[in-house]
Structure 1
Amino acid sequence: MFIEDIRNDFYNVLLGNRVLLLVHYDVDAVCACKILQDLFKCDNISYTLVPVGGISDLKTAYDENNEEIKYVVLVNCGGTIDLVDILQPEEDVVFFVLDSHKPTDICNVYSDGQVRLIYKDDEENIPNFDDIFRDDDEDEEEPEPEPERRSALEAAAERRRARKAWEERRHALMFNYTQFSYYGKPSACVALEIAARASRCTTATLWSAAVAAAAHEALHNRSPARCLLDAEPLHRYVAAAQRHTADDDTHRVARVSVEKDASLPLYRLWSLEGALRHAGALAPLLRLHARSGAARLRQLLADMGFPLQQARQAYRSMDVELRRSMLTALEAAAPKYKLPVPTRATFLLHRPHAPPLSALDMVYAIMALIEHETIPRAEGFQHALAALQVTGENEALKLGAAAARRALEAVARLANSILSSRGLMLAGPFNYFIVQEV
């Protein structure tokens, strides 16, 4: 069942109770978990946090931690499966599901209250209850006299025909409802609404929601128009926070803003040349896999007015005037190379005595921490939560940024190798290539 009031029907129910918090391994889930952690800390709600990666992990986590637990909160997991059937909980256990993965399992939608869904997406075309569930089991009737038996048989045959037609209609409805997997509104943006209604909307919650919104856009989970609509309440909260920040406090406290920024991965934590080489939207169009690719990149930097020595050093070490003119120079040089618009509006975190941090860079860092080559996933999950902090020295962010750079370099090497060796094959409406197993 869907709850109607996310504060009274969800958050206030948790007050004073111990909660089991099950969170999936993805950027949106990490951000939503961070917001819920801050809320629980403010209101002294005790909880047990367990990251899960699949149905088997979910079942194991619940079986090992369900002792004396009456409320379970699932973030980006559990919404697309029949929770009651898989977990076999006690009747008094209540599951609150905040899951951006769609479609939602129909048994969860029409649960009698044991499974409570926190948010309903506008795109969900959920079938009606009567079209999916039917209770027409009848007991065997007593033998009737011959004249009445014929009419009873005709009625039974009519019921069978009606049931068959209903089953065919149900099959068609369920096929249309479940044939595609897609994403709904970011769970962190829904968690931000909970924080706002509980008067707990802080810079940390705004930043976590901003990173989740950037993740949905960067990973193409939602269309650009839907991403803009999903982030509309976030824009309002950011604007309100900026109005309430005094002018003399803007450089002394952490704050989130919406500004035009370059669509380059990690360029503030890298070099301009490195970011251009590994930008998914720009590097293929510069044909960096070809022999002339390096010369084309150098020509782009020359057209921008950036010396090669400046472009290859760390961005923070570049000349201040070059940094200030980078966005304008990149926009001016892009049409010559038939590049898409290289800038867009994005969320930035401004911290005292630290350079601005882009929400897109945080997406890369969190993904790298979760999928780190040497750190276990559960430990990487904790590092990802730590990377979202908005104040103080952030070692987890440095670790994630370094891992993200290595991942981008590996992807670029593979893509350039495939393209240069003509390993990309055409198969009707799409192209594909085969990654050799190492």
Structure 2
Amino acid sequence: MDDTSLQSMAVFVLWPFHLFGVWPFHPMDVMARVLVLVAFDVDALCACKILQYLFQCDQILYTIVPVTGKEELEKAYVENSEGVKHVIFINCGASVDVVETLQPEESVRFFICDSHRPVDVHNVFNAVQVKLLMKEEEFDELPEYDSLFRDDDSDDDSGNDSDTSERSGKRKRFDDEAIEKRRDKRIWDENRQKILFEYNQFSTYGTSASLIMFELAWKMSKDTNDLVWLAVVGVTDQYIHFKTPRDKYIDDAMALESHVARHNHRGDDEDNIISINCLKIVFDEELQLTLYRHWSLFDSICHSVNLACKFKVWTLKGQKRLHEFLAEMGMPLSQCKQKFSSMESTLRHNIKQMIQDHMTKYGLTNQDVVIPSFSAQYGYKNKLCAADYVLACVATLENIDKNKSATDNFLSALDILQRVNVASLEKAVELAKKQTQAIVTQVQTFLDMHQVISAGPFLYAFIQEGTMDVKFFAKPQCLMRLARFTLEAHCSVSRNKRARSLPLVLGAPLDGEQGTTLVIGIPPLQLDEERKNFFGKAFEQAAVSTNSRTLHDSFDSYIMEMKTEDRSKFFDALISLLN
């Protein structure tokens, strides 16, 4: 890609970013300060840490501000933009026209490193003020510039009306041309609206922000083993929260594996021996068991989506099958129900192979049981796999402690990413276990009370006000995991053959005093490999058609807030729309 091609659109892929002015932040300009706006998710957190390291290497001044939604994004810019010439958005900003929304001075430059798709077309084609730190191949479906923007001549020919009678023929010709122009413009506008609707119809995700930032550090020869681990955690976060399909996750994991091998290579001679206090990352097939190294094996199986739904552990029959499975593996129940680290070493070290040897009889596949992943170890503590790290961080980000603000939680989660803070990490793991237990308890309640209802084109369920642990579900990422677990569990017990082809809408009480509900829509399991979510546009249209009081503030368009009183008419409109 040459310099001229960079001017045609703002897609600033990694290679040109490295070669053409790559690092636009100069340490010599001591008065310059970079504003970094960071979304509340683990991938953004990891990307932020990588960026911090790069700034510190070049002694660049920066301000980091966490933002939970579009309103906070605008507020944060207004409050912190004085004297700022460079603004970086991490997992936020791509879906809004940042220049129109923020009204910056002409000298301000925006750099958007955001995995949310689609990217607003104004951001894509504004090559002057907006630079997208993304991969070029992810823009295959981008509309042509000429189909979205045009310069129209003035349609106002009314001055001809005052011409004299001898020029009436000329005036008539001008009138005919004006009518034709207006007709062409109307057709063009209709076509533009159709193109924009198709482009914005589905919400998806691109490459994780932390992987983009890591590759930037690598191109600048500033990558370290700690930065590799941050990229690993960010990529895993996308998979854990169902943002990318398994194949995409594996592709990204394999790309990182070469960096892991490069930074963790150890030879046989004494000079290559790595200190026990150094971070060691290992790539291997990891059991898809939630927090099992910090829990008992039995509890971990019962709280893991794939295995819990295969065994239907919320039923007596399911519990019996699970006991049979463990017995057939030669795992005494007394061993399975004690902390994993306290199990007999022979059982602990062979657990993965034992499960794989006996899984076929119980309807499990290798895809249900294992996934290529990474684990980290430093000091003499137990290994921590990337998925556990993600759950610990997100539990801290979405901490429901009333005494802590959202910013406090953000800083605590950043603190966990400092690998020396082992005590903070262990507390976060315990918080993650509580969050996971709340999810499974709520899923069992939905199933026992038959609260997952078919509305025709989709399934829906609502958490009742006053439900135990309801505050956990007022947080978007926890609500996402609950929705996915609920959908998988319902499909595993439903006799409806269409269940896997139906999406799910899930609502949770948000603010009792304000009378608001947090609503999320997720796609059907049948389309799992696409991970395309159409609920963003559907929610907007249903709200407009019924004048429902809704707030579409989230960077994820399929999550919204609404007045609980408007729920009935909103859902009637949504059913009609999706039918």
Please say whether Structure 1 and Structure 2 have the same fold, judged by a TM-score greater than 0.5. Answer: yes
Q: 2:184 matched to 1:162? A: yes
1:70-81 alignment to 2 at 5 Å? 70-81=85-96
Q: How high is the TM-score relative to the length of structure 1?
A: 0.94
Residue 26 of structure 1, CA deviation: 0.7
1:294-346 deviation line (CA, Å, top 9, x unaligned): 33332222122222222222211211111111001111222222123212211
Question: Which residue number corresponds to residue 330 of structure 2?
Answer: 305
Of 430, 434, 442 in structure 2, the residue corresponding to residue 402 of structure 1 is: 430
CA distance in 2, matches of 1:349, 1:10: 35
CA distance in 2, matches of 1:226, 1:2: 21
1:360-386 deviation line (CA, Å, top 9, x unaligned): 111111111111110422111112222
Question: Which residue number corresponds to residue 417 of structure 2?
Answer: 388
Aligned AA (1:2): V
Say which SS state the counterpart of residue 36 (structure 2) adopts.
Answer: strand
Checking the alignment, whether the CA contact within 8 Å between 2:266 and 2:273 is kept in structure 1 is no
Question: Which residue number corresponds to residue 250 of structure 2?
Answer: 228
Question: Which residue number corresponds to residue 426 of structure 1?
Answer: 454
Of 220, 223, 239 in structure 2, the residue corresponding to residue 217 of structure 1 is: 239
Checking the alignment, whether the CA contact within 8 Å between 1:24 and 1:53 is kept in structure 2 is yes
Q: Which moved more, 1:56-65 or 1:114-123?
A: 114-123
Distance change (3 Å), C-alpha of 1:329 and 1:231:
closer
Question: Which residue number corresponds to residue 106 of structure 1?
Answer: 121
Residue 420 of structure 1, CA deviation: 2.4
Aligned AA (1:267): Y
1:60-111 deviation line (CA, Å, top 9, x unaligned): 1111111211111110111110111111212211111101111111111111
Question: Which residue number corresponds to residue 12 of structure 2?
Answer: 3
Q: 2:79 matched to 1:64? A: yes
Q: 2:317 matched to 1:284? A: no
CA distance in 1, matches of 2:11, 2:76: 24
RMSD: 2.0
Say which SS state the counterpart of residue 299 (structure 1) adopts.
Answer: helix
CA distance in 1, matches of 2:252, 2:205: 12
Question: Which consecutive unaligned segments of at least 5 residues does structure 2 have?
Answer: 1-9, 467-579
Distance change (3 Å), C-alpha of 1:140 and 1:10:
same
Aligned AA (1:72): V
CA distance in 2, matches of 1:73, 1:292: 53
Question: Which residue number corresponds to residue 376 of structure 2?
Answer: 349
CA distance in 1, matches of 2:279, 2:351: 24
CA distance in 2, matches of 1:161, 1:59: 38
CA distance in 2, matches of 1:187, 1:273: 35
Checking the alignment, whether the CA contact within 8 Å between 1:290 and 1:420 is kept in structure 2 is no
Q: Which moved more, 1:101-110 or 1:418-427?
A: 418-427
Aligned AA (1:249): I
Q: 2:151 matched to 1:135? A: yes
1:98-149 deviation line (CA, Å, top 9, x unaligned): 0111111111111141121111453432212211111113274553622322
Q: 2:72 matched to 1:84? A: no
Of 345, 348, 351 in structure 2, the residue corresponding to residue 326 of structure 1 is: 351
Q: 2:365 matched to 1:337? A: no
Q: 2:190 matched to 1:185? A: no
Question: Which residue number corresponds to residue 15 of structure 1?
Answer: 26
Of 316, 320, 325 in structure 2, the residue corresponding to residue 295 of structure 1 is: 320
Say which SS state the counterpart of residue 258 (structure 1) adopts.
Answer: strand
Q: Which moved more, 1:143-152 or 1:74-83?
A: 143-152
CA distance in 2, matches of 1:263, 1:336: 18
Q: Which moved more, 1:138-147 or 1:328-337?
A: 138-147
Distance change (3 Å), C-alpha of 1:153 and 1:245:
farther
Q: Which moved more, 1:252-261 or 1:181-190?
A: 252-261
1:20-57 deviation line (CA, Å, top 9, x unaligned): 11100011101111111111122211111110001111
Say which SS state the counterpart of residue 283 (structure 1) adopts.
Answer: helix
Residue 239 of structure 1, CA deviation: 2.4
CA distance in 2, matches of 1:320, 1:41: 43
Checking the alignment, whether the CA contact within 8 Å between 1:78 and 1:99 is kept in structure 2 is yes
Q: How high is the TM-score relative to the length of structure 2?
A: 0.72
Aligned AA (1:409): Q
Distance change (3 Å), C-alpha of 1:324 and 1:244:
closer
Q: Which moved more, 1:150-159 or 1:42-51?
A: 150-159
Checking the alignment, whether the CA contact within 8 Å between 2:415 and 2:421 is kept in structure 1 is no
Higher relative contact order structure (alpha carbons within 8 Å, sequence separation ≥ 6): 1
Checking the alignment, whether the CA contact within 8 Å between 1:2 and 1:119 is kept in structure 2 is yes
CA distance in 2, matches of 1:195, 1:367: 25
Q: 2:288 matched to 1:259? A: no
Question: Which residue number corresponds to residue 64 of structure 2?
Answer: 49
Distance change (3 Å), C-alpha of 1:393 and 1:175:
closer
Distance change (3 Å), C-alpha of 1:112 and 1:233:
same
Q: Which moved more, 1:234-243 or 1:73-82?
A: 234-243
Q: Which moved more, 1:172-181 or 1:104-113?
A: 104-113
Checking the alignment, whether the CA contact within 8 Å between 1:264 and 1:279 is kept in structure 2 is yes
Q: Identity of aligned pairs, percent?
A: 34
Residue 6 of structure 1, CA deviation: 2.2
Question: Which residue number corresponds to residue 293 of structure 2?
Answer: 268
1:254-295 deviation line (CA, Å, top 9, x unaligned): 122210111001111111111111011111221211123333
Say which SS state the counterpart of residue 72 (structure 1) adopts.
Answer: strand
CA distance in 2, matches of 1:396, 1:333: 37
Report the number of matched residues.
437
Say which SS state the counterpart of residue 24 (structure 2) adopts.
Answer: helix
Checking the alignment, whether the CA contact within 8 Å between 1:282 and 1:340 is kept in structure 2 is no
Say which SS state the counterpart of residue 364 (structure 2) adopts.
Answer: coil
Residue 229 of structure 1, CA deviation: 2.8
CA distance in 1, matches of 2:69, 2:421: 33
CA distance in 1, matches of 2:317, 2:198: 49
Checking the alignment, whether the CA contact within 8 Å between 2:90 and 2:113 is kept in structure 1 is yes
CA distance in 2, matches of 1:302, 1:45: 59
Question: Which residue number corresponds to residue 249 of structure 1?
Answer: 273
CA distance in 2, matches of 1:148, 1:423: 72
CA distance in 2, matches of 1:356, 1:305: 24
Checking the alignment, whether the CA contact within 8 Å between 1:121 and 1:184 is kept in structure 2 is no
Residue 220 of structure 1, CA deviation: 1.9
Aligned AA (1:79): A
CA distance in 2, matches of 1:246, 1:91: 58
CA distance in 2, matches of 1:139, 1:278: 65
Checking the alignment, whether the CA contact within 8 Å between 2:34 and 2:86 is kept in structure 1 is yes
CA distance in 2, matches of 1:166, 1:120: 30
1:398-417 deviation line (CA, Å, top 9, x unaligned): 12211110011111111112
